[in-house]
């Protein structure tokens, strides 16, 4: 296997702070643009590192190298088993640094270490899962006069979010590499530390030159990447407005975009629901990843006979919620990612108050200077005034009188990523089958999908190009049909 250059050198670390470096054409180099914001420790507000971006020249060099790698077949033309072995080695090496990745993401995003540790285990697992797909034959069908092949589309841009940066990135990277595509990886500028570590691990394994490259930066770097005609596909997870910009760039070049853009997800509590289970589900959906979760609870829809009991019980449970440092093993909810995001949540609550909403909070904020907020439930709003995503631990509460009204309220938002239904099994499934949502979970809220092999679809403004073990792998491939034309049958 052809190895990248300078693999023995690792970007310098000074006093535990990573110096951000791009990995382009087999070499480490400083990103050439200093951005205006800092990555901070969400628990204290202390600066960890200044954000950095890539210059147009650096991006152009990376794309040219990825395009050359694709056209040479240095990776896609390798024996499938050899590619699978390389991905397996990456998976094992990521396992070795999983705790470091978890710690980095907990500091920069505020997500509790118990959650980032779980998500960090996804990194190695994603590469091992992708390795198993790599050995599947590219020739998917052969008849007497024709054959169908599945082939890598070409260089893939992987743009990761800040809320679960490591696990999401590794799923995309592993899938694209398994499909035979060179990858251009841009971590979020708000959570670049785990991305840096992931890149170091992949670089050490020694893929052919140009098959894996790292470019730090913000939306400007992402925009240049997605607009380059040599980039054959883009997989993006992030906010709606940035996703729209990616979609426009890809549409202009008629190239595939895989977009997961968030949601304002409903949780429905039907008559006959187990209230203890419903309340635990509400709290989990409201506070997982500190509410910075595309599948978080946005709108709590409760039958009118249960509203008072559900609200009271949920606030009582939140009163005992352990809000604290993301590095504390006992923390259930940490701080939000940065001060600007804390202010965004405050503005959203003020807007709800001005529209007649009553904000309910319980619990206690820890001392210190971190970006802490308390979870909030908001009553008294008209449903049409609560359709936008806050992306924080905030949910509006609405009552309904009938199943038909519950379905109508759930479906009126322009998003369709996730939904939750609590009630008797038969009633819950009946409601679930009427919801305009990619995933509907019954009587439980969890961070992961109902089944490891299940797709993760996104409806409406929540995105296009569903993800999943097989779905993301196939996103980076296209079909080619070769054969002798046949006469019209009959």
How far is it, in rounded angstroms, from Cα 127 to Cα 451? 18
Q: Active site residue: 200, 260, 389, 399, which one? A: 260
The arithmetic mean of pLDDT across residues 270-286, rounded, is: 97
What is the C-alpha separation between 448 and 446, in angstroms, rounded? 5
How many domains are contained in the chain?
A: 2
What whole-number distance in Å separates Cα of residue 53 and Cα of residue 36? 10
Tokens (6 digits) for 122: 């996804």
Mean pLDDT computed over 39-55: 97
- Co-location of 47 and 92 in the same domain: yes
421 and 469 share one domain: no
Task: Determine, yes or no, domain membership for 201.
Answer: yes
Same domain, 354 and 372: yes
DSSP letter assigned to residue 401: S
Residues in the chain: 490
pLDDT at 2 over 70: no
pLDDT of residue 7: 33
CA dihedral of residues 57, 200, 227, 179 (deg, nearest 10) = 140
Which CATH number do you get for residue 38? 3.40.605.10
pLDDT at 186 (0 to 100): 98
pLDDT value at position 449? 87
Share the mean pLDDT of the chain.
Answer: 94
Q: Are residues 119 and 20 in the same domain?
A: yes
Give the β-pairing of 439-442 and 418-422.
parallel
The 10s digit of each residue's pLDDT in 402-428 is: 999 999 999 999 999 999 999 999 999
Whether 290 and 214 map to the same domain: the answer is no
Q: What is the pLDDT of residues 81-108, one digit of tens each?
A: 999 999 999 999 999 999 999 999 999 9
Spell out the residues 6+ positions from residue 3 whose beta carbon is closer than 8 angstroms to its own: 206, 208
- 260: annotated active-site residue: yes
pLDDT at 463 over 80: yes
Report, as an integer, the average pLDDT of 181-190: 98
CA distances to 25, 51, 387 from 28, rounded to whole Å, are: 9, 17, 45
- Asked whether 294 and 448 are in contact (CB, 8 A), the reply is no
Tens digit of each residue's pLDDT (9 = 90 or more) over 123-135: 999 999 999 999 7
Do 271 and 147 belong together in one domain?
no
Confidence of residue 200 (pLDDT cuts 50, 70, 90): very high
Residues 20 and 100 in one domain: yes
**Element at 240 (helix H, strand E):** helix 240-253
Does 243 score more than 60 pLDDT? yes
Residue 69, in any domain of the structure: yes
Taking alpha carbons only, the member of 232, 182, 235 closest to residue 70 is: 182
Average pLDDT over residues 335-352: 98
pLDDT (0 to 100) of residue 1:
38
pLDDT greater than 50 at residue 9:
no
Whether residue 4 is predicted with pLDDT greater than 60 in this model: the reply is no
% of the chain beyond a pLDDT of 70 = 95
pLDDT of residue 304 exceeding 60: yes
Pick from 88, 158, 166, 188: nearest CA to 120: 166
DSSP string across 76-128 = TTS-HHHHHHHHHHHHHHHHHTHHHHHHHHHHHH---HHHHHHHHHHHHHHHH
Cβ–Cβ < 8 Å for 283, 321: yes
Which pLDDT belongs to residue 17? Answer: 57
Q: Is the dihedral of CA 235, 237, 243, 246 positive or negative?
A: negative
> What pLDDT is stored for residue 14 in this prediction?
34
Residue 73 lies in a domain: yes
Q: Report whether pLDDT(13) > 50.
A: no
- The phi and psi torsions of 260 (rounded to 5 degrees) equal -120, 115
Report the first-to-last Cα separation within the chain, whole angstroms: 52
Q: Are 393 and 298 in contact (CB under 8 A)?
A: no
Task: Judge contact between 228 and 216, C-beta under 8 A.
Answer: no
Instruction: Answer with the residue of higher pLDDT: 11 or 235.
Output: 235
pLDDT in tens, 112-165: 999 999 999 999 999 999 999 997 777 777 777 888 889 999 999 999 999 999
Q: Are residues 176 and 143 in the same domain?
A: yes
Pick the catalytic residue: 181, 294, 332, 399?
294
- Enclosing domain of residue 323: 265-451
Domain presence at residue 471: yes
The residue among 361, 267, 363 whose CA lies nearest residue 306 is 267
Q: Is residue 490 part of a domain?
A: no
Q: Where does the pLDDT of residue 69 fall: very low under 50, low under 70, confident under 90, or very high at 90 and above?
A: very high
In a domain, 1, yes or no: no
Of 5-9, 30-34, 143-147, which one has max mean pLDDT?
30-34
pTM of the model: 0.94
Residue 431 burial (CB < 10 Å; 0-12/13-18/19+)?
buried
For residue 490, what pLDDT band results from cuts at 50, 70 and 90? Answer: low
Instruction: Say if residue 168 is in the same domain as residue 223.
Output: yes
The verdict on 253 and 287 lying in the same domain is: no
Angle between helix axes 307-319 and 275-287 (nearest 10 degrees) is 60
What pLDDT, on a 0 to 100 scale, did the predictor assign at position 141? Answer: 72
Check if 181 is active-site: no
Q: How many CA atoms lie within 13 A of 180 on its CB side?
A: 24
Residue 8 inside a domain? The answer is: no
- CA geometry: angle 441, 297, 106, nearest 5 deg: 105
- CA-closest candidate to residue 401, choices 479, 306, 329, 325: 306
Q: How far apart are CA 86 and CA 70, in angstroms?
A: 17
Span 214-237, pLDDT tens digits: 999 999 999 999 999 999 999 999
Sheet holding 156-159, edge to edge: 27-29, 22-24, 212-214, 183-186, 156-159, 233-237, 257-260, 463-464
Tell me the two tokens of residue 19: 């110096």
DSSP 8-state assignment for residue 421: E
Q: Do residues 96 and 181 share a domain?
A: yes
């Amino acid at each position: 296997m052809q190895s990248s250059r300078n693999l023995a050198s690792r970007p310098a670390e000074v006093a535990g702070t990573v110096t951000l470096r791009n990995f382009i054409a087999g070499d480490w180099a400083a990103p050439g643009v200093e951005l205006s914001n800092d990555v901070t420790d969400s628990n204290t507000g202390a600066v960890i590192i200044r954000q950095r971006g890539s210059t147009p020249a650096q991006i152009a060099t990376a794309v040219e190298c990825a395009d050359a790698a694709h056209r040479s077949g240095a990776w896609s033309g390798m024996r499938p088993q050899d590619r699978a072995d390389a991905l397996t080695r990456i998976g094992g090496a990521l396992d070795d640094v999983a705790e470091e990745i978890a710690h980095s993401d907990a500091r920069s995003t505020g997500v509790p270490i118990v959650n980032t540790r779980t998500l960090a285990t996804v990194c190695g697992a994603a590469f091992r899962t992708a390795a198993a797909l790599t050995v599947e034959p590219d020739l998917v069908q052969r008849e007497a006069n024709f054959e169908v092949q599945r082939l890598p589309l070409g260089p893939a841009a992987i743009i990761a979010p800040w809320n679960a940066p490591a696990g999401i990135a590794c799923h995309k990277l592993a899938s694209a590499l398994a499909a035979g595509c060179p990858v251009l990886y841009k971590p979020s500028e708000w959570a670049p530390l785990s991305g840096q570590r992931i890149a170091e691990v992949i670089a050490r394994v020694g893929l052919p030159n140009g098959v894996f490259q790292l470019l730090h930066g913000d939306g400007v770097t992402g925009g240049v990447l997605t607009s380059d005609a040599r980039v054959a596909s883009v997989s993006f997870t992030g906010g709606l407005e940035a996703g729209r910009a990616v979609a426009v760039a890809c549409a202009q070049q008629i190239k595939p975009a895989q977009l997961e853009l968030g949601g304002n997800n409903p949780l429905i509590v039907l008559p006959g629901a187990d209230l203890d289970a419903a309340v635990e589900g509400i709290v989990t959906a409201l506070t997982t990843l500190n509410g910075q979760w595309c599948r978080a609870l946005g709108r709590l829809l409760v039958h009118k006979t249960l509203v008072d009991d559900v609200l009271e019980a949920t606030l009582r449970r939140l009163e005992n919620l352990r809000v604290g440092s993301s590095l504390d093993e006992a923390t259930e909810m940490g701080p939000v990612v940065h001060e600007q995001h804390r202010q965004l949540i405050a503005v959203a609550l003020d807007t709800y108050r001005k529209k007649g909403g009553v904000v309910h909070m319980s619990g206690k904020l820890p001392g210190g200077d971190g970006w802490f907020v308390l979870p909030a439930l908001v009553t008294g709003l008209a449903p049409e005034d609560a359709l936008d995503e806050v992306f924080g631990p905030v949910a509006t509460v609405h009552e309904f009188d009938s199943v038909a009204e519950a379905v109508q309220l759930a479906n009126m938002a322009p998003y369709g990523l996730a939904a939750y239904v609590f009630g008797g099994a038969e009633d819950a499934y009946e409601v679930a089958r009427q919801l305009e949502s990619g995933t509907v979970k019954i009587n439980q809220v969890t961070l992961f999908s109902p089944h490891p092999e299940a797709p993760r679809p996104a409806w409406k403004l929540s995105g296009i190009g569903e993800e999943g073990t097989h779905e993301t792998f196939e996103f980076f491939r296209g079909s080619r049909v070769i054969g002798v034309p046949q006469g019209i049958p009959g």
